[in-house]
Amino acid sequence: RTGGHQRLRTFCSAGTGNVLMPSSCRLYDLHNTIVPYHQAWDWQHLLVDRAIAAAELAQRDGGNCAAENTVLLMQHAPVYTLGAGSTIDNVLFDEEKSEIPLVRTERGGEVTYHGPGQLVMYPILRLQSPPHQADLHWYMRSLEQVVIDALREVRAPR
């Protein structure tokens, strides 16, 4: 570990087959840290903005994007999140009386609780750059492998 992050070996599909090949990304390993949701959200936006800026610079200069894949691993203080397309009908408590905040996010899905003791992983990847693929099914299979590898790295309790 250096500077609060470490290199994490991940796996990505290569070519058109189902062959997985080693790749790497930067892991910000905060698995023992409770991070307020809005702080983590700000970090994600900052990292995405940096990746977009790197891609735009590379495109202007006629080169390849040098943006690094990144994973944030942490716990949150208690929070409920709502996906972009979710409805408040699926919130089964009175949000006005709740001590736990409810936050609408850009992700898909419905209502999700995050809290201490639950590891949350936020991957920030440039799917258009090899060896990645801009394909939902490929992404979900690869994401599952990244989670398995990350948990192995931090040796999370079972």
pLDDT in tens, 27-78: 899 999 999 999 999 999 999 998 888 878 877 877 665 557 888 999 999 9
Residue recorded with tokens 């905040």: 101
Q: What is the pTM of this model?
A: 0.72
pLDDT computed for residue 77 by the predictor: 97
pLDDT in tens, 71-89: 899 999 999 999 888 888 8
CA distance 81 to 41: 11
- pLDDT exceeds 60 at position 14: no
Short-list 22, 36, 1, CA closest to 153: 1
CA distance 79 to 84: 16
Q: Do the beta carbons of residue 55 and residue 126 sit within 8 Å?
A: yes
How is residue 131 written in tokens? 């060896």
CA distance 49 to 156: 30
CA distance 141 to 136: 9
Q: Which of 66-80, 93-107, 110-124 has the lowest mean pLDDT?
A: 66-80
Q: Do the beta carbons of residue 34 and residue 116 sit within 8 Å?
A: yes
Torsion of CA 141, 139, 77, 156, to 10 degrees: 40
Strongest mean pLDDT among 13-17, 71-75, 144-148: 71-75
Segment 139-148 shows an average pLDDT of 81
Confidence category of residue 150, pLDDT binned at 50, 70, 90: confident
- pLDDT exceeds 60 at position 21: no
- According to DSSP, the residues that pair with 24 across neighbouring strands are 9
CB atoms within 10 A of CB 76: 21
